[in-house]
Amino acid sequence: MPVIGYLGLTSADTDDYRLAVFRKVLKNAGFEDGRNVTIDYVFAERDAKRLPALAEELVRRKASVIFTGTTVSALAAKAATATIPVVFAIGADPVRSGLVESLNRPGGNLTGLSFFTNQMEAKRLGLLHELAPKVNRVAVLLNPNNPFYGNQVADLNEAARALDLRLDIERAGNAHDIEAAFQAFAQQRTGALLVGADPYFNSQRALVIAPATRLSLPAIYEWREFAEAGGLMSYGTSLTDAYRQASDYVVRILQGQRPAELPVLQSIKFELVLNLKTAKALGIEIPPTLLARADEVIE
């Protein structure tokens, strides 16, 4: 019976939406856990240092394919094996990350999907400016542990210059840092908030959304889960669509295809989600132009 390894950075609870899509795609293709495949789940519980050992554990279990949803976990899987196929669904550029040789010709045992979410920071800043055009000082929350932290800072600073905005960037890689960052934002009297793309912030949505609401900051986040949890606005890849495509690659590998033959996919479906309930609570009127472009409005 083939073994599918699922290598997670966070936890089963945090990855629930990914797992639901993953299992559904497998089931629709005729692969059911315990019937004709075994799915081994291992989670690092937000401790990236555990990923190499967990990846090696899946190798020892002789996994037929390993699936992972973050850049750091994909890198750990690559370091652990040069033969077992690895499928990733990540927000970073897999070529710049060193995961594959090129998008069209991955060239090794890794392939998957990239939604290039880190490159969308400038777009999110533009949407935030459209939401709050009178604000000229924007708070930015970034995770310094993100391998593309430097790129995020550079892209945001370039976009801020074009929009004539001042950025107050605070770094946060844990709960204490998040609390300290919002204390700084309160003292700086910033007028809006951009939360950078990062898996850690997605796993700690409540810790980020609550203080933003308390400070009455118009805020934009990466994924729709933030808006569904009470955040004002999100713009980013449709994770459901992205994980569906990546999970389909797991199926194709189980059916005999080689990762080197499967080009890295690029997500093309993006979602703008607005939470009108939060907007009303904050006393913010959403511009009609944004409402007209929203893929979903939460009322």
Instruction: State residue 118's pLDDT score.
Output: 63
Residue 131: its pLDDT value, please? Answer: 96
Is residue 126 located within the same domain as residue 99? no
243 in the same domain as 135: no
Say how many domains are in the chain.
Answer: 2
Say yes or no: 150 and 212 in one domain.
yes
What is this structure's pTM?
A: 0.81
CB atoms within 10 A of CB 104: 9
pLDDT at site 287: 95
CATH number of residue 167's parent domain: 3.40.50.2300
The domain of 167 spans 118-237+271-298
Which residues are within 8 A (CB) of 276 and not within 5 positions of it... i.e. 6 or more apart? 286, 297, 298, 299
> Do 149 and 281 belong to one domain?
yes
Residues 281 and 163 both lie in one domain: yes
The DSSP string of 134-179 is T--EEEEEE-TTSTTHHHHHHHHHHHHHHHT-EEEEEE-SSHHHHH
Are both 159 and 244 inside the same structural domain? no
- Statement to judge: residues 209 and 163 lie in one domain: yes
Tokens for 246? 């990546």
Q: What pLDDT, on the 0 to 100 scale, is given for residue 18? A: 83
One domain for residues 225 and 149: yes
Residues 49 and 197 in one domain: no
Cα 195 from Cα 189, distance rounded (Å)? 16
Helix and strand counts by DSSP (H, E) for the chain: 12, 13
Domain shared by 260 and 275, yes or no = no
Considering the domain architecture, whether residues 91 and 10 belong to the same structural domain is answered as yes
pLDDT tens string, the chain, 299 residues long: the values are: 999 999 999 888 888 888 999 999 999 999 999 999 999 999 999 888 999 999 999 999 999 999 999 889 999 999 999 999 999 999 888 998 899 999 999 999 999 999 877 678 999 999 999 999 999 999 999 999 887 889 899 999 999 999 999 999 999 999 999 999 999 999 998 999 999 998 889 888 999 999 999 999 999 999 898 999 999 999 998 888 899 999 999 999 999 999 999 999 998 788 999 999 999 999 999 999 999 999 999 98
The one-letter code for the residue type at 227 is A
